[in-house]
Amino acid sequence: MSFNSLTQFAWWKTYLTPKRYSHNKIPDLTGKVAIVTGANSGLGYATTVALAANGARVFLACRSRERAQEAIENARAEIKAKYPKAPTPQLEFLELDLNDMTKSSQAAQEFLKKGLPLHILVNNSGIMNCPYALSADGIETQFAVNHMGHFVFTMGLLDRIKESQPSRIVILSSLAHEMTPKHMNGIDFDTINDETKSGNWDRYARSKLANVLFGKALARRLANEKVWVNVAHPGYVATNLSRSTKDVWGNFADKVFRMVTKIAAMSPRVGALTQLYLATSPEIESKDIRGRYFIPIANEIKPIHYASDVDLQEALWVFSEKLAKEKIKA
C-alpha cells in the first residue's frame, strides 16, 4: 500500500463530520419487524438494543445460539435500565451461518416460515483481516462471509421485504473498500481463491467493496419500490472485529491496536447511529434516500474508485447469482 493511495482515502472525513442522528431521534417502531446479522456483540448488539427499545421485534441472526441468548438477556437488562418507558423487548434468535451459503439460504427460509413481515434488515455481521482460509463452499472466507453469505440471505428474504414495504435494507461496508489494490481491477473474479494474488487486508478491502457494489445494484433494482437500500461505514468503533490482529501481525501490533482503539474509537452505541439512521430515520423515505453511502454520524459521501463503477456492480451481481446457484444445496 503506497502513501499516494493513502492520500486518496476518505476515512479522515469521519473525524470532521457532524453528528446528524441520535438515539432520541429514533421514531416509535411498534409493529416493525427487524433482522440484525451479527447481533450478539458490537455494532449488531447496539443496533438490536436501540431497535427493540423503540418497539421493534428484533431477530438476532447469529451462528451461535448460546451467544445470541446471552445477548438477548443482556439486551433485556440494558433496555430495562436505560429505557424505563420502553415496551417489553421482543427479541428472538435466528440461526445464521454466513460461512455457508446453504445455511444462509436455510436461515432465510426459516424466517419466512414464521409468516411475519420484514421491515428492516441490517446486514451488520462481518470479519476482518483474517488469515487466508476457505469457507464451507470453498470460497475465500472474507469474501464468503462479508458478501456471499449476506447476498444469499438478503435475496432469500427480498420478496418478503417487498411485501412489507415501506421497508429498509442497510448494508455495512467500510471505507477500507477504497484500499482495493489496482491489480484486482476492483474484484478479481478469476483469482478470488488464489492466496498468492492478495494479502489479508487486500481481501478484506475486496469484500467491503463487494458490499458497496451489491448495495448499489440492489437499490437500482428496487428503484420503483418503497424499499430503501443504503450502505454504511460505521467508522472506527471499539468492537471485536479486529480479533485476528494478533494472529496476523503478532503481539506487538495487537497491543498497539488495542491502545489506539481505547483512545480513538467510538463506542458501539455511538458507532451504530449511522446504520440506525438508515434503518429508522423518516428522512430516508421523505427525501427518497436510496443507493447512497454514509459515514459517521449519518453523513453522506460519494464512494470513489471502483465503488461507482456500474459495470462492476452488475458483474458482481451476475457472479454472485451464478456462484450461489452452484453452491446452494437443495
Question: Among 234, 52, 227, which Cα is nearest to 157's?
Answer: 227
The strand pair at 293-295 and 167-172 is best described as unpaired
Q: Is 138 left (phi over 0), alpha (psi -120 to 50) or beta?
A: left
pLDDT of residue 305: 77
Closest-CA residue to 96 (of 132, 149, 30, 158)? 149
**Neighbouring residues of 14: CB distance < 8 A, sequence distance ≥ 6:** 175, 233, 235, 236, 295, 296
Is residue 264 a contact partner of residue 151, using CB atoms and an 8 Å limit? no
Q: Looking at the domain assignment, is residue 5 inside a domain?
A: no
Residue type, 98: L
> What distance in Å separates the CA atoms of residue 180 and residue 304, rounded to the nearest whole number?
11
Burial class (CB in 10 A: 0-12, 13-18, 19+), 312: buried
Does residue 4 fall inside a structural domain? no
Q: In this structure, what CATH number is given to the domain that contains residue 68?
A: 3.40.50.720
The residues, ordered by sequence, that sit 6+ positions from 35 with a Cβ below 8 Å of its Cβ are: 58, 59, 61, 94, 111, 118, 120, 121, 122, 157
Within a domain: 42: yes
Give the containing element (helix H, strand E) for 185.
none
Q: Is residue 251 part of a domain?
A: no
Catalytic choice (21, 45, 83, 204): 204
CB atoms within 10 A of CB 248: 17
Q: Are 90 and 74 contacting, i.e. CB atoms less than 8 angstroms apart?
A: no
User: What pTM, to 2 d.p., does this model score?
Assistant: 0.91
* Residue with grid cell 430495562, as numbered in its chain: 80
Mean pLDDT per block of 10 residues along the chain (330 residues) reads 41 67 98 98 98 98 98 98 96 98 98 98 95 97 98 98 98 90 87 93 95 98 98 84 53 59 75 97 98 93 86 98 94
The CA distances from residue 40 to 199, 200, 300, in Å, are 29, 25, 27
Does any domain span residue 281? yes
Q: Which residues contact 60 (CB under 8 A, 6 or more apart)?
A: 36, 39, 40, 44, 48, 68, 71, 72, 91, 92, 93, 94
**Phi, psi (degrees; rounded to nearest 5) at 295:** -120, 170
On whether residue 92 sits in a domain, the answer given is yes
Query: In total, how many domains does the chain have?
Result: 1
Whole-number pLDDT of residue 16: 64
- HSE-CB of 85 using CA atoms within 13 angstroms: 2
Share in percent of the chain as helix, strand, coil (round to 5): 55, 15, 35
Q: What is the pLDDT of residue 322?
A: 98
Let me know if residue 250 belongs to a domain. no
Beta strand spans in 82-234 (E): 90-95, 120-123, 167-172, 227-232
- Decide if 253 is inside a domain: no
230: which strand partners?
A: 170
Contacts of 46 (CB under 8 A, 6+ apart): 267, 268, 269, 271, 272
Domain containing 188: what range? 12-239+268-325
How far apart CA 200 and CA 236 sit, in angstroms, is 19
Is residue 132 among the annotated active site residues?
Answer: no
Categorise residue 288: left if φ over 0, alpha if ψ from -120 to 50, beta otherwise.
left
